[in-house]
A and B are shown apart, each in its own frame.
Chain A
């Protein structure tokens, strides 16, 4: 059939710089570079390029760069080149367009419309380099009124189980299968070093990760991959996955070619067959049913582990969260539409769900209005890009944030969005041994730790500037935020005043 799909990128090679060393050909799993059999300079097939930039970073002669394919559209703002290329691809295959990572469309990034406060003259700012700043947070359900024996200075009635995070940041759920074991190990090492938690995702817990189980969330999705009593009791906490920001209403589907022996053993499923976890858990058709699953996990773990429930940010997120808070869940995780994924139908990724900023603010407000905010902790995820986003999320009501994409970028991910092909040149979103061995868990962990350390310093500086010395005092403190470039409705939902007010 006629192939109307154009290349997306063009690989530029500076012939003056190129030493013809051949590293590019050895590094590219997509087959962009090929040395002809008859010899001669390496040939370039730009059509195969996904712009992962591995060759650009590693080219010792700095002879390579990737640019957009120079073809222009017709000038129509409606029939853009992308819209027409999507049609070409579907006309050739009749399939569902597959994509990866989060929503890339130019919707409002509300983080960028929220400005932070700083103290001037009154309520002095705090210098975090010299004064203590508390970044520790606890996640878990709190009793409405803790019963305390003040004479003996101790809590009389036992608290529900709590997780202690030294920084208000965790790592989002990413399964073995969607990312490599080395990438998971890097997150585990980083979580342990930082005093926080990673999340094994819905693909079970590989035995190599069990030494890190005390800083792991175990996830339970509809396919129940790798879920048994040992799995639940080994982890520090359990997360029920109802939805994911990148693909609300869509479940997981790991294609059979990624189900290697190790993935099969970890997920406890047959080797080589598709791993399907559809959006519905067929034992959950209501809030009452969710409560049933929450308590089945609590029964299986002796009420010693917090249970989180993760939903995608969707239209009725606040009402849904209100129900979730009444299921006995200890933690609510809300994931916005920019949250990443290893694979999602493109139409779903680009058209379904809402920004986490709006969902988070609405949920926090709803739970406060109903007087149940303290019964659950609230975790926000779905494209937290830097320390200022963390500050904004906490001020909008989050107890902590989870990062996925940012942690992967720290390891080397360049957001090419080709995760589903399984040819990740950075050794992250792949199961091919030749590629996964490129990622050294220790080095990748160090990079992630560095990132979070840097963010923590910035978080302390921003809090200090506001005259705040503990994350607990920032949580839900929307007076520390002002909006710019937002309409009245947006300000109302976010619960913030306009800059200058």
Chain B
């Protein structure tokens, strides 16, 4: 059952006003066409639809920002068109699938859940990604995976099928990046945790100081297999699959969790 939901945009919240109580979902699936609506109106409509259905198809997106902002577990957005910046920011367990390209900061400060992009995305994808998985079929812009971090049982992953811009994994403090294409310069600058998997080794002088490059080992295979499997399943038939986890991957890891430990004179 597909139900199109339209609601009026509410005005700015009153001081101390409580959020409207969410009605239990009454439909399994809903559809919202965004057209040229402003992001505020667009997100209001998407949230209203999500309050009534666990799965919402967003169509005709025209760069509206923040779609899927803080989407909780159990909710799913399928987006047609081009979602704007900060897609899935603070994502909190929900699933987002984009049938098109993403713009900048896909999954900004994402906590849990998944984002799948059948296309490319812009800069700073997975900024401060802390949990969950982002799959990007094609290439991505600069600074993907910047500030990615892991803690306790959270271990985020970012898989990019194509090339990446400069500063991939900058300041990375945890998690996994898998890159199917070629990285730009300054890979892992300031990296002090986590791992970046590459198809081919970097030239020795292209390895950022403080990082150690080595062939992926047997210990890398299970984790890598899971992510490669997820990528190949999500994008089956859309392009070349990523090669097998034991097919000659390389990895970059930081030599120290304290890259700037000796920077200061006390």
Contact = CB atoms under 8 A, between A and B. Distances in A.
B208 interface: no
Contact of B264 (A96, A267, A273): A96
B151 A256 contact: no
A140 B12 CA distance: 13
Contacts of B146: 282
B135 interface: no
A127 B193 CA distance: 62
Contacts of B72: 229
B52 to A, nearest CB: 17
Contacts of A229: 70, 72, 90, 92, 111
B190 to A, nearest CB: 7
Contacts of B150: 270
Interface stretch (A57-65, A167-175, A219-227, A350-358): A219-227
Contacts of B104: 283
Interface string B224-265: 000000000000000000000000000000000111111111
B39 interface: yes
Q: How large is the interface on A (under 10, 10 to 19, 20 to 34, 35 or more residues)?
A: 35 or more
B15 interface: yes
Contacts of B170: 282
A264 B193 CA distance: 14
Contacts of A95: 262-266
B133 interface: no
A415 B63 CA distance: 51
Interface stretch (B123-131, B180-188, B199-207, B211-219): B123-131
Interface residues of B, number: 56
Contacts of B147: 222-224, 282
Given A159-B14, A283-B104, A300-B69, A421 B266 contact: yes
B261 A227 contact: no
B87 to A, nearest CB: 11
Contact of B143 (A157, A268, A282, A420): A282
Interface stretch (A86-94, A188-196, A462-470): A86-94
A159 B264 CA distance: 48
Contacts of B69: 296, 299-300
A228 B265 contact: no
Nearest to A90: B265
A74 to B, nearest CB: 23
A429 to B, nearest CB: 14
B173 interface: yes
A272 interface: yes
Nearest to B167: A282
A275 B149 CA distance: 10
Nearest to A228: B111
Closest 4 CB pairs of A and B: A95-B265, A273-B257, A224-B128, A229-B70
Interface of B: 11-17, 19, 39-40, 43, 65-66, 69-70, 72, 85-86, 89-90, 92, 104-105, 108-109, 111, 123-124, 127-128, 130, 143, 146-147, 149-152, 154, 170-171, 173-174, 190, 192-193, 257-266
